[in-house]
Amino acid sequence: MSGKKLHRHGGKSSEAVLNAQRVLRSINLCEGDVFMDAGCGDGFISRAASRMVGAEGEVLAVDQHSPSLDILREKVREEKIKNLKVLEADLTRKLSIPDETVDLCLMANVLHGFFHNEELDQAIPELLRILKPGARLAIVEFKKIEGMPGPPFAHRITAEDVRGILESRGFQFQEEMEVGPYHYAVVLAKK
């Protein structure tokens, strides 16, 4: 690759087309979990997760797009959320999260960008490092159908693509499901 990124990470919220509660219920987020929203954007899913994991759980909202994180920080302050930590970080670099900390990591509308920018070999090992043994990774992506909201058709990836990408990099497939009219989810476990 020439070094030119094909996909720009960050900037657009999916809140209008993706129901956070439906996604989190579908991927079995539990009270007390340490949950990471990788590429959280404005954090609409992170905020919903903070209510589901409760006082004993923790939410790590990670993104590199400062303007989106500023929106999230303001909401956290307004809503007096105590169990949500906002981390401005590039997922292709070492995160300030200890090894084997996370029970469940969600990447919603994020993996396709790493795939098209050829950054998977930087991002995936870092996810493996922070996930507990047997922890789950949930990938939510726009369905690869023409004319639907979301990224350009050429940038979309199928559930089969997701499985192939992650099963070859240390994850074991668990299930695939629909999580909305425009989205599917693939849940995998760290081997």
Q: Per DSSP, what are the bridge partners of residue 92?
A: none
CA atoms of 139 and 105, how far apart (whole Å): 9
CA atoms of 143 and 145, how far apart (whole Å): 6
Per-residue pLDDT of the chain (191 residues), as tens digits, is 334 445 455 556 677 789 999 999 999 999 999 999 999 999 999 999 999 999 999 999 999 999 999 999 999 999 999 999 999 999 999 999 999 999 999 999 999 999 999 999 999 999 999 999 999 999 999 999 998 889 999 999 999 999 999 999 999 999 999 999 999 999 999 99
Among 108, 87, 96, 89, which residue's Cα sits nearest to residue 45?
Answer: 108
Q: Enumerate domains of the chain plus CATH numbers.
A: 27-147+156-190 (3.40.50.150)
